[in-house]
């Protein structure tokens, strides 16, 4: 993502354009799921000194504006990604914590239509698939099972 693209996204959401916000959007646009400490490390590489609190503030603002997505796999640190508003889900390795995107299992977004909505209007669903990534599967071959 270019500086111009990041600036446009921020302005489209009515947000003030700042160097840390542009940097964080650009970093997340490179792909993957990053923890706060990883976002901070990359931001420091690009901008120099930036506090951990500033990174939390930027990520919170960007998540609230739906420019980034906050994912919180159980037992794992919060992670952030640029892919938003498309109802995708996640695969999480229960050994190493690796996270991968996976598209919704059906074209109709069936997970948004629970069998009993208890009167709720469902706006989004978060599905997490747990298992072992290929690397951890290979590492566990021939070893003790849990």
- The top-level CATH class assigned to 87-140 is alpha beta
Which residues in the chain are classed under CATH 1.10.10.10?
3-71
* Residue 47: strand, helix, or coil: helix
Which residues in the chain are classed under CATH 3.30.1490.190?
87-140
Nearest 5°: phi and psi at 90?
-135, 145
> 88-142: per-residue pLDDT in tens?
888 889 888 888 888 876 555 556 667 777 888 877 777 888 899 999 999 888 5
Q: What is the pTM of this model?
A: 0.77
Q: Compute the distance between CA of residue 65 and CA of residue 112 in angstroms, rounded to an integer.
A: 22
CATH of 3-71, one of 3.10.129.10, 1.10.10.10, 3.30.420.40, 3.40.50.2000: 1.10.10.10
How many other C-beta atoms lie within 10 A of the C-beta of residue 73? 19
Name which residue leads in pLDDT, 7 or 122. Answer: 7
């Amino acid at each position: 993502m270019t500086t111009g693209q990041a600036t446009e996204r921020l302005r489209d959401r009515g947000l003030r354009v700042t160097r840390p916000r542009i940097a964080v959007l650009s970093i997340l646009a490179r792909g993957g799921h990053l923890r706060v400490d990883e976002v901070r490390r990359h931001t420091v590489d690009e901008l120099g000194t930036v506090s951990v609190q500033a990174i939390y503030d930027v990520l919170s603002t960007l998540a609230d504006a739906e420019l980034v997505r906050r994912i919180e796999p159980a037992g794992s640190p919060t992670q952030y990604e640029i892919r938003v508003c498309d109802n995708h889900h996640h695969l999480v390795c229960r050994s190493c914590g690796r996270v991968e995107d996976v598209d919704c299992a059906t074209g109709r977004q069936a997970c948004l239509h629970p069998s009993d909505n208890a009167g709720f209007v469902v706006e989004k669903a978060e599905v997490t698939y747990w298992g072992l990534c290929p690397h951890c599967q290979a590492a566990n071959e021939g070893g003790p099972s849990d």
